[in-house]
Amino acid sequence: MSSPHRLLSILVLSAATATTGFAAAVTVGAGSIGTARISAPRCTAAGLGVVQNLSGSTIVSVTVSSLPSACGNGTLQVTVNNGSTSASGSSAIPAAGGSVTVTLGSAPAVAVAEETDLVITGP
Overall residue count recorded for the chain in this entry: 123
Residue 103 pLDDT: 97
Residue 42 pLDDT: 82
pLDDT in tens, the chain (123 residues): 455 444 444 444 444 444 444 444 445 555 545 454 555 668 888 889 999 999 999 999 999 999 999 999 999 999 999 999 999 999 999 999 999 999 999 999 999 988 999 999 987
Residue 104 pLDDT: 96
User: Quick one: which of 91, 89, 76, 87 has its CA closest to 114?
Assistant: 87
Residue 45 pLDDT: 82
Residue 47 pLDDT: 87
User: Quick one: which of 91, 95, 21, 9 has its CA closest to 53?
Assistant: 91
pTM above 0.85, yes or no: no
User: Quick one: which of 111, 99, 123 has its CA closest to 49?
Assistant: 99
